[in-house]
Amino acid sequence: EIDRQWWKEAVVYQIYPRSFNDTDGNGVGDIPGIIEKLDYLDYLGVDCIWLNPVYESPNADNGYDIADYRSIMAEFGTMDDWEDLLEGLHDRDIRLIMDLVVNHTSDEHEWFVNSRDEPDSEYRDYYIWRQGRTDVDGFTGHRGPEGEAPPNEWGSFFGGPAWEYDEASEEWYLHLFDVKQPDLNWENEQVREDVFEMMEFWLEKGIDGFRMDVINLISKPDAITQHDPPEPSDFGGTIDGPKVHEYLGEMGDRVLSEDLLTVGECIGSDMAMDEAQRYVGRDGDGLSMIFHFEHVLLDQGGEIWETSDWDLRELKGVFSKWQHGLQDDGWNSLYLNNHDQPRMVSRFGNDEEYRRESAKLLGTLLHTMQGTPYVYQGEELGMTNVSFDSLEEFRDVETLQPVRNALESGDIDSFEQVREGLEANSRDNARTPMQWDDTDNAGFTTGEPWLKVAGNHDEINVEVERGDPDSVLEYYRRLFDLRDDHEILVYGGYDDLWFDHPELWSYTRSLDDERLLVTLNFSDTETFFEVPNPEDHDGDHPIWTPDVDGADEVELLLSNYDEVGETDDPSEYVLRPWEARVYHLT
């Protein structure tokens, strides 16, 4: 029998408030701006909003550096505005999940201010302070006073060392991200208690769950206390650290319940399925789902400006692994975009000649897998990556800092040298203002936008797409409707069909006697599809052969090209460039 949950059936829409809609003309989006667009969200038909951090913050990392967990960033509005937003969403049957950022705080959070300035206070141990090393000859990295080396050689995710020296106390604190994002010490029971109370504060306000930022980094390995450090940049045991499940289990017992949507962001390049199940399985920590990174790392290189070639079979392999891995125990999140990722259509599709087709194809993929789809603002319009003419046009710390470091050290000579890579990879691609209309600032602000507006906003925007039956926007609305109408899309099992095909991604979904057949042509050319002969199949995955003649009803549920005959034989046909088809067989 099916284990039904609202969060399995939901489509989640992610709002990055800074870039969504500005009502006061300061060039920064705000909460009243989201309220102004409630009817848009209602028309769109999404079920839940994930709101990126809106808490008080000095914005070293756009709100992921929180100075006060219980108040709203003044730039975004007030707590009253936030409460109006929650009410407006709930009135429209849209739920709200909040970003929970508890691996680190801002260095301006009063816990850290006390921790740094009052080394004898109870707050010292809220963060991770260590002595430096004096006995390291070969160390070539950044050193503290008198040549002291940091406690170990970890580098920050944003470039440079992960330790910062404090002159007053002559110790170093750990920051896996920016120097203004000191890591909390989860070993300290009082830290955990304060975090859980803060979560209760928001739950009592009526929110429907949490998206948990880098939650698999909260438990640090013993290595940070040892003077035999891992290689530079090797975080070793920080990922899925030794006590992460103990801490999350405690959080589960204390504050979480099954009716909440909880999604843990878990960084890392290759998670074993039994580890995944410790987070989301029946006997796991009780999270609804996690965000893993395996698919979005396929085209990445070592540095922020480095890319690597990806192959469709690798992408299929990642999805297939997770589809099968959590099919019977656990649940998947489905995403290609978020505020940290370049735009999917520029990455995995063709953002020029086949922008519409490929945006729809990728949307089809995300909404016809087993799991909960996450749609990031602008994805529903087919928004693309942007071009940046100089380093000054970027805003993101993850882009700016490593490039500045590399320019300074001479590792690179100029912006031009890394421009192409940054244009492919930078998180700022995702953060350009939402495109509402074709006016100068795309209807986002009457002021000067905090980050440039994409040049193509005159053709890609809500106003032109709304009501246009061929638009990406209207197609996304159909995808949401389809999930509402067909339980098989939510709960059906997944099987690969013709897995080793280099350009075609085809699979089936099955629930009782019902079948779906999905075929996606990931190429600029026509590609022939036929249901493969099971005898030619290597047998890695069970294969289902649609008995087309035997089916009572063959229905073309969805296609991203309009002229497809409903009577076309679904067992073999030619797919046009970036064509996607979903057949329903009963």
- Does 517 bind ligand ISL (CB under 6 A)? Our answer is no
- Does 398 bind ligand ISL (CB under 6 A)? Our answer is yes
Mask 33-72, x = binds ligand ISL (CB under 6 A)?
----------------------------x--x--------
CB of 340 to ligand ISL, least distance (A): 4
Helices (H), 49-172: 79-91, 110-117
Determine whether 187 is an active site residue: no
Cβ-contact 254, 239 below 8 angstroms: no
CB of 488 to ligand ISL, least distance (A): 32
**For 371, what's the count of Cα atoms within 13 Å in the CB-facing half-sphere?**
28
Tokens standing for residue 83: 């409460």
Q: For the chain, what is the radius of gyration of the CA atoms?
A: 24
Cβ-contact 403, 409 below 8 angstroms: no
Q: CA-to-CA distance for 224 and 221, rounded, in angstroms?
A: 6
User: In the complex with ligand ISL, which residue's Cβ is closer, 234 or 568?
Assistant: 234
CB of 158 to ligand ISL, least distance (A): 7
User: In the complex with ligand ISL, which residue's Cβ is closer, 423 or 579?
Assistant: 423
CB of 389 to ligand ISL, least distance (A): 22
Q: Residue 105: which region, alpha, beta or left (left: phi > 0; alpha: psi -120 to 50)?
A: beta
Residue, CB closest to ligand ISL? 64
User: In the complex with ligand ISL, which residue's Cβ is closer, 44 or 101?
Assistant: 101
Instruction: Out of 213, 275, 428, 495, pick the active-site residue.
Output: 213
Determine whether 465 is an active site residue: no
In degrees to the nearest 10, what's the CA dihedral of 559, 565, 571, 576? Answer: -50
User: In the complex with ligand ISL, which residue's Cβ is closer, 101 or 434?
Assistant: 101
Instruction: Out of 171, 178, 240, 265, pick the active-site residue.
Output: 265
User: In the complex with ligand ISL, which residue's Cβ is closer, 155 or 577?
Assistant: 155
SS3 547: coil
CB of 62 to ligand ISL, least distance (A): 7
Q: CA-to-CA distance for 308 and 550, rounded, in angstroms?
A: 45
Torsions phi, psi for 102 (to 5 deg): -130, 10
Which residue of 148, 187, 340, 458 would you call a contact of ligand ISL, by CB under 6 A? 340
Give the β-pairing of 493-497 and 504-511.
Answer: antiparallel
Which residue of 97, 256, 267, 434 would you call a contact of ligand ISL, by CB under 6 A? 267
Q: CA-to-CA distance for 389 and 423, rounded, in angstroms?
A: 10
Torsions phi, psi for 15 (to 5 deg): -110, 125
Number of residues forming the site for ligand ISL (CB under 6 A): 14
User: In the complex with ligand ISL, which residue's Cβ is closer, 215 or 472?
Assistant: 215
User: In the complex with ligand ISL, which residue's Cβ is closer, 157 or 186?
Assistant: 157
CB of 317 to ligand ISL, least distance (A): 19
Cβ-contact 152, 224 below 8 angstroms: yes
- Which letter does DSSP use for residue 154 in this model? P
> How far is the CA of 87 from the CAs of 84, 90, 91, 174, 194, in angstroms?
5, 5, 6, 39, 27
CB of 177 to ligand ISL, least distance (A): 4
User: In the complex with ligand ISL, which residue's Cβ is closer, 99 or 208?
Assistant: 99
DSSP string of 4-59? --HHHH--EEEE-GGGT--SSSSSS--HHHHHHTHHHHHHHT-SEEEEPP-EE---
- Does 214 bind ligand ISL (CB under 6 A)? Our answer is yes
Which residue of 47, 56, 171, 213 would you call a contact of ligand ISL, by CB under 6 A? 213
CB of 64 to ligand ISL, least distance (A): 3
Contacts with ligand ISL in 152-211 (CB under 6 A)? 157, 177
Cβ-contact 178, 397 below 8 angstroms: yes
- Does 427 bind ligand ISL (CB under 6 A)? Our answer is yes
User: In the complex with ligand ISL, which residue's Cβ is closer, 371 or 402?
Assistant: 402
CB of 349 to ligand ISL, least distance (A): 18
At which residue do the structure tokens 């006016």 appear?
Answer: 439
Q: CA-to-CA distance for 18 and 54, rounded, in angstroms?
A: 9
**Catalytic center residues:** 213, 265
Interface ranges with ligand ISL (CB under 6 A)? 61, 64, 101, 157, 177, 213-214, 265, 267, 296, 339-340, 398, 427
